[in-house]
Structure formats: C-alpha cells, structure tokens
Amino acid sequence: MLVFLIITFAATYILQFVVFMYGLKSVAGTDMLIPATVAIICMFLFKSKALNKETKIIFAFFLIFTILYFFEGYVTPIMGSIGGTLPLLSSIIAILGLISVIILNLKKKWREELKPSKLFFGKNLKFYIIIPVIYFVILFVSLVLNYVFGLGIPEKEFNLTNYFMAFITLSIMYGLFLWPLFFGEEYGWRVYLQDRLFPLLGGYKGVLILGIIWGIWHSGTIILGMNYPGQPILGNLAMIFGTIVMGIIFSYAVLKTGSVWIAVLLHLITDVAGGPSANMFIATPVDSVFSFGPGIYGMAIMAIFAIILLKSNLWKKENIPEPST
C-alpha cells in the first residue's frame, strides 16, 4: 500500500510540475491514468492472485491506451484525431478494450475469473441504476441552484434541453473513447487502495482516510489553477470535503456490487454533468468554492445522501471482504 501511494503521488506531481515548468500543453486526464497504472504495476510486482488471463487482457488494453494517450497527447496523434480533440488510435484502443470488458463478462467462467480483480460487472445490478440516478439528480438540482440563487450565469443561455442533449452526447462519447481515464482513478482508489485500507481500518475510518488521500492527490492541479481557479487553499479544502463525500458514495457502490465499473460510471457522471455543458447551459459559478455543484454548498447537499449510505451494515469491519487484488 505504501509503495502504491508513494509512486502514485510522486508520478502525479512530477507530471504536473513538468507540464507547468516547461509550458507543455495540458492534456486532459493524463494524471487520471496514474493510480490504476501504479496499482497494476504493484499487482505484478507483489504477485497478486487476481492476475489471471482474463484480468490481464483488460489490463493490457488499459496500459496500451495509457501509453498511446500520453504519446498522442504530448507528442503527436499517430493516426490523426477525432474532431481535433480525441486521438484516433487511442480511441480505437479504448473501444476495443470496452468490447473486451463486455465479452469477458458474458460467459460465466470468464466473469468468475474477473471477480477477484473486481473487473466483473458485479452483483446487485439494480444498483447500477439506483445509485447513479439518485447521484445525478442530486448533482443536477444542485447545479440548477447556482442559477436560481444568482451564484452564476450560463456562458450561452439557460437551456435545460440543450444541457441534457450535451450531457447524453458527452456521456456516450466519454464512455466509448475515454472510459480508461475514469477507470484510471477508480481502480487505483476504489479497488487497490480501498481493498487494503478497509480491512485494516474498518469501513468508516477507511472511507474517511481514502477520501482525504483522494483529495490531497488533486492538490497539484488545484494549485495550478484547475477546479477552483485562484483559490489554492480554500480550493484544496473544498476538494477534500468533496472527495470524502463522493468517496463514500463511490465506495458504497463498489462494496454493494463488488465491481469497479459502477465507480467508473459515477465518476463519468460527475465530470460530464458538472463540466462544460453545465457552464454553458445552466450556470458558471462566480465563486467556484462557495457555490452549488462541485462547490461546498453542492457537496453539503450530496453529503446528505452519503450520510444515509453510511448507515448501512456494509461499513462494519466484519462485513469488509479481505483484499483479493
């Protein structure tokens, strides 16, 4: 666990430092790929029992995508790009990887082989609808409150139809071409680290510490002006508060289903719902910290949902499964 944390934080901060110091263009999401990459390296290094053939296939697609995405982002797209933004070859690998995930989950024997690594679609599949829908509704209402209370104005116009059209379009596009970015964070935090923290500390302390670690990991980007521009201190505090709240929801979903993919879905919803489409068609907050959505007011509302989930028996130490990764 310590090796994972040291390498993950060092690699992330070094990448951000190099990009900033040498004036390189900031390629969206490259740092998101680091936690899962390090987790996979640690699994090979420490000879994880979860590393069977089926798991290695999915990991191979992810690692190939990671290498290509870095190269095509910081050097040049090998086969051009889609719409001038998405590197074509990386996108092809992402689609092939997604197809492999689906195929490997179709056959019972293969699903069982993916279970130890939490790469199968999991159990309690109804929660793939229940949790994301509740999560999105809370986030959406929170974003609208920025407009209602005059905490921001839309860049273009307040138009919920356009917002939902953009949300659906971007969700499909991100799900097809950029799913490794969300997997990159969630497999590192919600599987590799969670599997080690929870049995050691119990669910309640474990999810708190995990949320704090996840928040601190974002500190470099916040200091460099992302998420909460111009507010490095308050921005970091808001981020840690948000990652604790979101971490409870994401971790609950993983514990309930036994699968990383529901956390990947929730992370995708977070970035798409509160991204550029919200700024254009709902409201761009005047103050990114003291606002709804990803601001502290929005996370306070989301915390109500998180507190409800904390009442589950899933968090008790005796109900936490032993790590298989």
pLDDT attached to residue 61: 98
- Measured CA distances, 279 to 115, 145, 148 (Å): 39, 13, 14
pLDDT average per 10 residues of sequence, the chain (325 residues): 97 89 74 97 96 98 97 90 87 98 97 97 96 98 97 96 96 96 98 96 96 96 89 96 98 97 98 94 96 96 98 88 83
pLDDT attached to residue 324: 82
Residue of 73, 1, 62 lying closest to 261 (CA atoms): 62
Q: Which residues, 6+ apart, have CB-to-CB distance to 97 below 8 Å?
A: 58, 61, 62, 64, 65, 179, 180
Distance CA 5, CA 297 (A): 30
Distance CA 97, CA 19 (A): 28
pLDDT attached to residue 26: 64
pLDDT attached to residue 296: 97
pLDDT attached to residue 318: 81
Distance CA 193, CA 43 (A): 12
Question: To the nearest 10°, the Cα dihedral for 84, 89, 91, 94?
Answer: -160
pLDDT attached to residue 15: 92
pLDDT attached to residue 19: 83
The number of C-alpha atoms within 13 Å of 4 and in the hemisphere containing its C-beta is: 26
The whole model's pTM is what?
A: 0.96
pLDDT attached to residue 226: 84
